[in-house]
Chain A
């Protein structure tokens, strides 16, 4: 069963959400910064928000169609929804929360279903406690169990793990994956966390300003961000203004000159004309520092520069290197010590062609 979503909704006079994508069984991440419209997409699918126009369907069951004026009530959509702050009923125990959606069945069936899902999500021991009496991670598991116990046709999650520590997140994600190995429903997971994209997603739909800007596997979307905002979100610390100086289609590369410098960078080929501006995104951790000019090295970009500033940030030494433009480089404090780096040191930066990613500025 595939969920197909086409939603258009004016959220502000200047802001129109306009997206269309399909969600196959497995986990699809809707990734974007806050205000990109991702929660509205989720709420539209759930029937909690009404699009101005569009069509939402699970397989051939239409949930919303502005053309034929179909708008199935949220209560009848048979979807599971996990809210950002979970929305567990505070006056009910975990067991009563989970069984809430099972009211059409007998109490014996309710007990059996509740016990089974509690087992899958490792919360059997706290079924008699209220949400206020259990930890954040446990509440999260109750929220998932409550949404899934009704056997929904799709599951929607609105940044449910953002408040949890990474270890707890990973364990819950693993249990959700195990559950879905057996059920195989489309899961739509909204987040702004890059980490969750890689940990959870089979596919990613990247939203920005109300539009889909990229779609594909996490690797495809996050490693080759085509848009500047996405590059910032995906953890590219360096975004350099540049001008395309030459293109070498036969090698699949091009050369870009960093704006207001004479520094040339070899980058993968992009669909930008020679002489036109382009932005180059480089992760700070993808740049090497050498104290002498390296020889016999495969990397195509070897650039002289001067260290302006060194700052320790936890286990990362951040070095700001002036090559005409400022580049942020991350290395470990130990390697910084061994190289004897200090502000004013002259160094060489080594950057592989494919660590430089041309992005379009939107």
Chain B
């Protein structure tokens, strides 16, 4: 089993999950409660990684992060080395690629919140920020946990985007799925088996956890 690759994938998935737990809720909040007419355009953009071939997303990211792009140049100026084919590039790519896995569960749990609760909060003097912290977040904790777990599992198993922007550098950008691919190419089936089984087990456990989280533990019984 390729422990280096596993450690790298876990580190990547953890960083991406945390990042998306910070980025996801504000986007989900806006998507749920905004009344803008062009909301659908942003919704589609967020959902794009669900349908786009990873190679397409990876290709554009590679172009965007390369030394000829403004982002790549700025990064190089800042850090002294290029962004493409680094661990940082994997983080950026994975955040974009896993965005819908974070935003969608959070947005659907926001949408389930009774709007009257938000109105009640404002008539009690609370600012929108306070309402978000005291009412919206606690009542959508299921969706947020689900988002975290799904992001983690999804990033852990990522292949195409990672290969495009990260390549296959052991200890830097070689993730679990690339390691399996390598093993198979080298006809090392026993190693591929072990790593694949590990990924299967983790993915199943993550999904079981998400489905197992009890929904709506505070549901109010209907008035008699």
Contacts and interface: CB of A to CB of B under 8 A. Distances in A.
Interface of A: 46-48, 73-81, 83, 85, 87-91, 100-101, 103-104, 130-132, 135-136, 139, 146-147, 150, 163
Contacts of A76: 125
Given A81-B123, A83-B120, A89-B117, 9 more contacts: A47-B123, A81-B119, A83-B116, A87-B116, A89-B134, A89-B135, A90-B218, A91-B138, A101-B126
B81 interface: no
Contact of A91 (B119, B126, B218): B218
A101 B139 contact: no
A79 B219 CA distance: 28
Contact of A81 (B120, B130, B134, B218): B120
Contact of A80 (B116, B123, B218, B219): B123
Given A81-B120, A85-B116, A103-B130, A90 B220 contact: yes
A83 B224 contact: no
B119 A87 contact: yes
Contacts, number: 77
A136 B221 CA distance: 9
Given A103-B130, A130-B218, A73 B120 contact: no
B117 A101 contact: no
Interface of B: 114, 116-117, 119-127, 130, 134-135, 138-139, 218-221, 223-224
Given A83-B116, A91-B139, A75 B123 contact: yes
A287 B64 CA distance: 87
Contacts of A80: 123
A78 B120 CA distance: 12
Nearest to B119: A48
Nearest to B118: A87
Given A81-B120, A136-B224, A163-B224, A87 B125 contact: no
Contacts of B218: 90-91, 130, 132
Contacts of B127: 75
5 contacts: A75-B123, A76-B125, A85-B223, A88-B120, A103-B125
A150 B122 CA distance: 13
B125 A150 contact: yes
Contacts of B124: 75, 100-101, 146-147, 150
Contacts of A46: 119, 123
Given A75-B126, A130-B218, A132-B219, A100 B121 contact: yes
A107 B125 CA distance: 17
A75 B220 contact: no
Contacts of B114: 87
Contacts of B220: 88, 90, 131-132
B119 A83 contact: yes
Contacts of B126: 75, 100-101, 103
B117 A87 contact: yes
A134 B129 CA distance: 29
A76 B135 CA distance: 18
A171 B219 CA distance: 27
B91 to A, nearest CB: 34
A79 to B, nearest CB: 6
Contacts of B139: 90-91
Contacts of A90: 139, 218-220
A75 B117 contact: no
A85 B116 CA distance: 8
Given A76-B125, A150-B124, A136 B223 contact: yes
A75 B125 contact: yes
A171 to B, nearest CB: 16
B215 to A, nearest CB: 13
A79 B139 CA distance: 25
Contacts of A48: 119, 122-123
Q: Which 6 A-B pairs have the closest CB atoms?
A: A101-B124, A87-B116, A87-B120, A90-B218, A81-B123, A163-B223
Given A89-B117, A91-B139, A79 B123 contact: yes
Contacts of A87: 114, 116-117, 119-120
Contacts of B116: 83, 85, 87
Contacts of A74: 119, 122-123
B114 to A, nearest CB: 7
A91 B114 CA distance: 13
Nearest to A73: B122
A88 B219 CA distance: 11
Nearest to B138: A91
Among B116, B220, B221, the most chain A Cβ lie within 10 Å of the Cβ of: B220
A104 B135 CA distance: 17
